[in-house]
Amino acid sequence: MIDKIWNFKNKKLSDDVINRISQEYRIPRVISTIILNRGIDEENISAFLKKSMADIVNPKLMLDMDKAVNRINTAIKNKEKIAVYGDYDVDGITSTALLYEFLLSLGADIQYYIPDRKGEGYGINIMAVNKLFKQGIKLLITVDCGITAIGEVEFAKLQGLDVIITDHHTCKDRLPSAAAAILNPKRPDCEYPFDSLAGVGVAFKLILALAMENGMVTKDVFEKYVDIATLGTIADVVPLVGENRVIADKGLKALKKTQRAGIRAILEIAGVLDKEITSSTIAFAIAPRLNAAGRLGTATTAVELLLTKDRNSAREIALTLDKENKERQLTERQIFDEAVSMIASDANFKKKKVIVLAKEDWHHGVIGIVASRLCDMYYKPCILISYSNGVGKGSGRSIKNFNLFDALSHCEKHLTDFGGHAVAAGLNINMCDIEDFTKEINKYADSMLTERDMIPSIEIDCPLSERAVTLENAKMLLSLEPFGMGNEKPVFAMSGARIMNIAAVGIDNKHLRLRISKNDHIINCIGFGMGDFVASIKQGDNINLAFQMDINNHQGIESVQLILKDIKISK
């Protein structure tokens, strides 16, 4: 258990302003306080609550969109063979399925290709380009990849393949100038007003632009594909603000009534078909199963699931993905245990601000998840590298104040390739360079991270009295959905509560169950992954708690429940 810093977001808000907003929008004071604390201006509150289609930006404002649309329309008209080149995570899988299905509806001679994670790695590779060229492909459209593939795009151009790049990852100093078009809202020269789209979001904007150019009703196209777009948007953990907020909101509603056989099958296998579909449903029930295809098998299986119209086939594929997800969990546990053991045996671990671990033949498809778990556990940036035959492939995750992409850029001389975001990235490295890379990135971290940066923090929206812990308020919080990065589920704090009952529950006593009381209010609490707290707190203790409000539905009876985030002994 790491002692966390509690950061209160509370601004000095006027009671008059809070009351006025509460009355105008007919929302409780706590909701008004949350909205204002999150920096949403009064004139934007209506848009935040309504999640209107008016916030969807014209796709033609994205740089090179006209070039991409014209080249695709030309390819369809001339019956050229087109390939959609995707990635093996949920963002790439949904991007591939969405663009493939739409171009097929336009009459395109279309196929898709997703590289093998272990054999080919992330992004465009020359071997795949050559293979597609021999199959007669004339136009290659990347989704969720390609922005750093300068040499590969030049090679494709020499072979006679035009390449359209659609991506959302951070750009390096040079772009693949040989591409016929580059769609990426993060391009320094792109003035598109929203740069936080997921890869599937960029592909979504492309099909909307194609729909506009081909005289289709864009509203109909949006509604038909927004369910798929939402899966990738939420799974890729992009900020759920602006356009992403609207896409996620409309998509979650579409998922509740979707008739896509594959999506319904995966919802049924996950046991959530008849339950409320939220961003958490995607993050914890759907995404891991779709991801499992690319982690342990081939990601094309997940694309087939999204595209199939046959219910029997959909169920068969969903069962396969569920099985692969369980295998992934076992492999993940094994690598995690090995990594923890390596850390425990490192006498200099406490001095290092970045965890870099390497081992032969760790599964490439799982090391990213393990890196994320270690990052959370030790609150240090973490990079895991799997090597074979002298070549390593790594996956990293980072903490709040450490931009991993910038760090890898600083250490570029030790790497053969890298790419990603501030909080997640991938890299390729020769085994002989791992030691120097480890020293260099830790030296960089020493210059960038303070001791306070190395302490995890909890962002707390506001204190909440026991009187405000009501079912009504818990339901009103749903008006702030969809929750995710950039619009996290509100966290509250309460002080001076007394523990009435305490127990560690679940497999391996992993979780914590509390019943607390304050001023005659009795409240039930659950702390997922917090079972170790039973060693430091006991019945009768007075505690301060950081928590989220949730609705527990047991046998049709709804009650408010607190989801614990941290506990401190009350002084």
**C-alpha–C-alpha distance, residues 113 and 417, integer Å:** 21
Higher pLDDT, 17 or 316: 316
pLDDT digits over 128-172, tens only?
999 999 999 999 999 999 999 999 999 999 999 999 999 999 898
Predicted confidence at residue 316, as pLDDT, reads 97
**Model confidence, pTM:** 0.87
Segment 14-19 long-range contacts (CB within 8 Å, at least 24 positions apart):
17/42
- DSSP letter for each residue of 230-270: HHHHHHTT---SHHHHHHHHHHHHHHHT---HHHHHHHHHT
Evaluate the CA torsion angle 237, 240, 244, 249 in order and state its sign.
positive
**C-alpha–C-alpha distance, residues 204 and 151, integer Å:** 27
What are the tokens at 269?
Answer: 């296998």
| pLDDT over 80 at 219, yes or no | yes
| pLDDT over 90 at 563, yes or no | yes
What average pLDDT does this structure show over 328-337? 95
Considering only 190-204, 374-388, 475-489, which range has the smallest mean pLDDT? 475-489
Edge-to-edge strand list for the sheet holding 162-166: 109-113, 81-85, 137-143, 162-166, 181-183
What average pLDDT does this structure show over 227-251? 94
- According to DSSP H, which parts of 78-176 are helical? 90-105, 126-134, 150-159
What are the tokens at 42?
Answer: 């009064």
Radius of gyration of the chain (CA): 25
Quick check: 266 and 279 in contact, CB under 8 A? no
Residue-averaged pLDDT of the chain: 94
Local confidence band at 526 (pLDDT 50, 70, 90 cut-offs): very high
What are the tokens at 56?
Answer: 């969807």
Predicted confidence at residue 553, as pLDDT, reads 84
pLDDT digits over 541-558, tens only?
999 999 999 998 887 889
Helix or strand holding residue 90 (H, E): helix 90-105
Q: How much of the chain, in percent, has pLDDT values that exceed 90?
A: 83
Predicted confidence at residue 1, as pLDDT, reads 59
Backbone φ and ψ for 503, nearest 5 degrees, come out as -160, 145
Quick check: 141 and 85 in contact, CB under 8 A? yes
Environment class of 556 (CB within 10 Å of its CB; exposed 0-12, middle 13-18, buried 19+): exposed
| pLDDT over 70 at 94, yes or no | yes
| pLDDT over 90 at 5, yes or no | yes
Predicted confidence at residue 136, as pLDDT, reads 96
Residues in the chain: 571
Quick check: 21 and 32 in contact, CB under 8 A? yes
What average pLDDT does this structure show over 284-309? 91
What average pLDDT does this structure show over 91-98? 97
- Say whether 531 sits in a helix, a strand or coil: helix
Quick check: 93 and 232 in contact, CB under 8 A? yes
How many alpha carbons fall within 13 Å on the CB side of residue 12? 0
**C-alpha–C-alpha distance, residues 2 and 131, integer Å:** 50
* N-term to C-term CA, the chain: 19
Parallel/antiparallel/unpaired status of strands 391-397 and 382-388: antiparallel
Predicted confidence at residue 11, as pLDDT, reads 67
pLDDT digits over 33-50, tens only?
899 888 888 888 988 898
Task: Determine the Cα angle at 124 with ends 120 and 129, to 5°.
Answer: 90
**C-alpha–C-alpha distance, residues 184 and 167, integer Å:** 5
What average pLDDT does this structure show over 341-346? 96
Predicted confidence at residue 385, as pLDDT, reads 97
**C-alpha–C-alpha distance, residues 561 and 551, integer Å:** 6
Q: How much of the chain, in percent, has pLDDT values that exceed 70?
A: 99
Predicted confidence at residue 41, as pLDDT, reads 83
Local confidence band at 12 (pLDDT 50, 70, 90 cut-offs): confident
pLDDT digits over 410-456, tens only?
999 999 999 888 999 999 999 999 999 999 999 999 999 999 999 99
| pLDDT over 80 at 2, yes or no | no
**C-alpha–C-alpha distance, residues 81 and 262, integer Å:** 27
Evaluate the CA torsion angle 503, 507, 510, 514 in order and state its sign.
negative
Task: Determine the Cα angle at 234 with ends 230 and 235, to 5°.
Answer: 110
> How far lies 208's CA from each of 62, 185, 215, 218, in Å?
12, 15, 11, 6
Quick check: 272 and 322 in contact, CB under 8 A? no
Predicted confidence at residue 275, as pLDDT, reads 87
What are the tokens at 99?
Answer: 């663009």
HEC per residue, 184-214: CCCCCCCCCCCCCCCHHHHHHHHHHHHHHHC
